Amino acid sequence: MSDRLLVLVRHGQSEWNLKNLFTGWKDPGLTEQGIAEAKAAGRKLKEQGLSFDLAFTSVLTRAQHTLDLMLAEIGQTGLPTQKNLALNERDYGDLSGLNKDDARKKWGEDQVLIWRRSYDVAPPGGESLKDTLARALPYYVQEILPCVLRGQRVLVAAHGNSLRALIMVLEKLTPEQIVKRELATGAPVIYRLNADSTVASKLDLAA
């Protein structure tokens, strides 16, 4: 049952999530709620009887802290972990650090919605979801997927948009479908893969 296990977790609530700010590559920490979410995610994984051989995360604090808290709950502190900016959140460019309501006042509701929810339109100085996929997907294919297919149990703690890139491929979603896909903070999604890298089963622990 433990073969070809891949678990994706979006980091717990960050200080800027709470303040309704565009975060991107900025590096705020977790809120108290975010810490609680990360610990709860770890407990959910433990309840499923899961343990891991290695982990992947971004170079941003909120994802790394979430991973550490989950591993502490599972009893696997010190798990071999690879950190790479390929798994970073989408770069929001000029929007980073701005309150989302203020951004709407500056650029208009429609334009901000396009930047947030389109597949291939990037905000000024930033990345579109398509751009994020262009860096996250090769990393997944070259570094993460081979480990899973070798039978290693892999935990990935990252961000809403970098994880969307992986989910788009795993679940064969269209650009229109992936932009509508919501990922709850601190909610593990458990995939078991077939030998050909397609999804054999999926369990979303957000519920």
Bridge-based pairing state of the strands 54-57 and 81-83: parallel
Rounded to whole angstroms, how far apart are CA atoms 118 and 80? 36
Q: Alpha-carbon distance 133 to 12, whole Å?
A: 21
The contacts of residue 198 (CB under 8 Å, 6+ apart) are none
Cβ neighbours of residue 113 closer than 8 Å, sequence gap 6 or more: none
Active site residue 89: yes
Q: Catalytic: which of 11, 37, 127, 159?
A: 11
The active-site residue out of 37, 65, 89, 127 is 89
Q: Which residues are catalytic?
A: 11, 89
